[in-house]
Amino acid sequence: MKSQIKWSEAFIRTLKETPKEAETISHKLMLKAGLISKVASGVYSYLPLGLKVLRKIEKIVREEIDQTGACELLLPALQPESLWKESGRISLLGKDMINFIDRHQRRMFLGPTHEEVIIDVVRKRVHSWKELPIVLYQIQTKFRDEVRPRFGVVRAREFLMKDAYSFDADQEGLDKNYEKMREAYELIFKRCGIKCQSQKADSGIMGGRFSEEFVAEGECKELEIGHIFKLGDTYSKKLKLFFLDKNGEEKPMIMGCYGIGISRLMAAIIEGNYDEDGLIWPRSVSPYSVLLLPMNMEEKAIKDTTEELYRSLQKNNIDVIMDDRIISPGIKFKDGDLLGIPFRILIGKELKNGKVELKLRREKRTELVKVEDILQEIKKLKCKDYQQEHENLKARKTTISLTTKTQRLKE
């Protein structure tokens, strides 16, 4: 996906009026800014801008989950009934499971979750305590025929999810992996720019002994964006996921599973970051970092400077979108605000003084910057993000060492 683009060539269609189907902020803004397009109730297309955000979120999720030592894989959406008969969960999930009969008269499901499939993968190739622990994850589309889809992407029938599964020889192992995952979650949500709380939860259809859900705070009141479970040996026993321990005894693996609703996370981020003019993306997930806003592309000096900045930002690996449309400025301002790109560089009347105007979407203030300094200025501001990243890294190390200490104390 292009990290720099001309507006005229991007497939961006904003809406001046909000479609009446939307009532919540995130739903309204996603439609207005042209992030998504509804296909059916609870079924959405992600337009280029929306996909860009989704990919940025995925990137953060991958980085943090990889950091825990988990390995990414990709499981099928299509699942045979036989596996589900083994786990006995068909009646539990009930009508939420989308199913059909294939041409050979076999019933197939569109995966609402992947415990059955991942266990099948693991049980076919892991048989010894020496191979444990194992932690696997994927980012994939889930299908659930929700009774009542709502709020756009918040509760959809087809949605993107990160789901991880841990396999351990014993409860202590599970506790350790669970803890690691929980720490990763905290970092993920922090990096995505949302405040989150974890709380004990009902394990629901997942079963197991213990679970916690991560709830986004703020106006989206209690939106659950992540859930982690200590599953124990329930699934292992049913699906015959056994291994031989040190004494040669056959034992069920101890499992945990960990989900994050990626598409829902996107909605949660919006709920916590907007104003009356539109979206305000946290820098980490914004579709582009910089918006170049030339007042008039038909004026040579403005056009040349804009294109020069476009190239130099590009060269410096900074995501940039250039509003090269030949339309009245008001539209550019409104669209720009609606899209919520963190940095806006306006190229206009100050150019005769050798200056452009820098504005942060989140702030009201505009700053005049010399054309030749603007790149450094942007880099400097972005640098603050890197510092934030470092702090996150430090936080990660601290929490991990703290955990280790706590564990030692327990021992």
Partner RNA sequence: CGGGGUGUAGCGCAGUCCGGUUUAGCGCGCUUGGUUCGGGACCAAGAGGCCGGCGGUUCAAAUCCGCCCACCCCGACCA
The residue ranges that bind RNA (CB under 7 A) are 14-24, 27, 32, 38, 40-42, 144, 146-151, 154-157, 159, 161, 202, 204-206, 213-214, 223-227, 259-261, 263-264, 277, 295-296, 298, 328-331, 333-338, 346, 348-351, 357, 359, 366
Q: How far is the CB of 148 from RNA (least distance, A)?
A: 4
Q: How far is the CB of 300 from RNA (least distance, A)?
A: 14
Nearer to RNA, 209 or 405 (CB): 209
Nearer to RNA, 161 or 290 (CB): 161
Dist. CA 325–CA 318, nearest whole Å: 21
Q: How far is the CB of 128 from RNA (least distance, A)?
A: 31
Nearer to RNA, 169 or 262 (CB): 262
Q: Which two tokens stand for residue 109?
A: 């499901």
Nearer to RNA, 309 or 338 (CB): 338
Q: How far is the CB of 409 from RNA (least distance, A)?
A: 31
Q: How far is the CB of 180 from RNA (least distance, A)?
A: 18
Nearer to RNA, 173 or 278 (CB): 278
Nearer to RNA, 268 or 320 (CB): 268
Dist. CA 356–CA 339, nearest whole Å: 21
Nearer to RNA, 232 or 336 (CB): 336
Q: How far is the CB of 40 from RNA (least distance, A)?
A: 4
Q: How far is the CB of 51 from RNA (least distance, A)?
A: 16
Nearer to RNA, 132 or 347 (CB): 347
Q: How far is the CB of 131 from RNA (least distance, A)?
A: 28
